[in-house]
Amino acid sequence: MTVRQLTAIDRIIIEADKALTTIWGVPDTTSRPIPGAELAESELSASERRHSAALMRINDAGEVSAQALYQGQALTARLPDVRQAMEQAALEENDHLVWCQSRIVALGGRRSLLNPFWYAGSFALGALAGKVGDRWSLGFVAETERQVIEHLDEHLASISEHDLKSRAVIAQMKIDEAHHGSLALQAGGAPLPAPVKTLMGLMSKVMTRTSYWL
């Protein structure tokens, strides 16, 4: 059986479909259950509920960005095994996306209005990182995951101790992000220069602070 080679138009259509699904649809996942699904919904004050919803909106925006980052890197990765690793990581990040959306709905919140912007910017960064080389691309993943874990730790320290369902989601996300970062380093990821790490941190702060409100 002959397998048709994808054309440039095919790839554009595929990537456009992934973007639309990530931002507005329901993406494919690994079908893992939502962490904390067995827990009862906690009684939260109005301010606690708003704060939890805002933090989960930040996490959702971060997962939109992560999805775009991995898709961009998979598109330009040179080695097949690296491309496959990026695609698998993207699938697992979709779990997080669905989990965050579920909590946002349960808390009466909404997703970030800027998600299309976050996706476009992260996809461009991912594609650029893949073009530079797989070692740097993987190093970019490892540093991204390290910074994500820092944000998740801040959220665990900030979110109400009564919001057990959101805390369960964040805790599992933290475990997965650490795993992705470790895999990227094991696959040959190179440490990024300090100025690049600093720039990434500044961009991350802009996204998190903006997504808290928008």
- Token readout for 68 is 């775009």
Q: Is 43 annotated as a binding residue?
A: no
Query: Rg (Cα) of the chain, in Å, rounded?
Result: 17
Q: Is 93 annotated as a binding residue?
A: yes
- Token readout for 158 is 């900030």
* Distance of alpha carbon 187 from alpha carbon 194, whole angstroms: 21
Q: Is 38 annotated as a binding residue?
A: no
Q: Is 154 annotated as a binding residue?
A: no
Q: Is 96 annotated as a binding residue?
A: yes
* Distance of alpha carbon 202 from alpha carbon 96, whole angstroms: 23
Q: What are the C-alpha distances in Å from 136 to residues 158, 172, 182, 191?
A: 33, 27, 15, 8
* Distance of alpha carbon 28 from alpha carbon 94, whole angstroms: 7
* Distance of alpha carbon 72 from alpha carbon 92, whole angstroms: 16
- Token readout for 52 is 């939890």
Q: What are the C-alpha distances in Å from 30 to residues 34, 44, 72, 95?
A: 11, 31, 20, 7
Q: Is 81 helix (H, G, I), strand (E, B) or coil?
A: helix
Q: Is 180 annotated as a binding residue?
A: yes
- Per the annotation, binding residues for Fe cation are 63, 93, 96, 145, 177, 180
- Per the annotation, binding residues are 63, 93, 96, 145, 177, 180
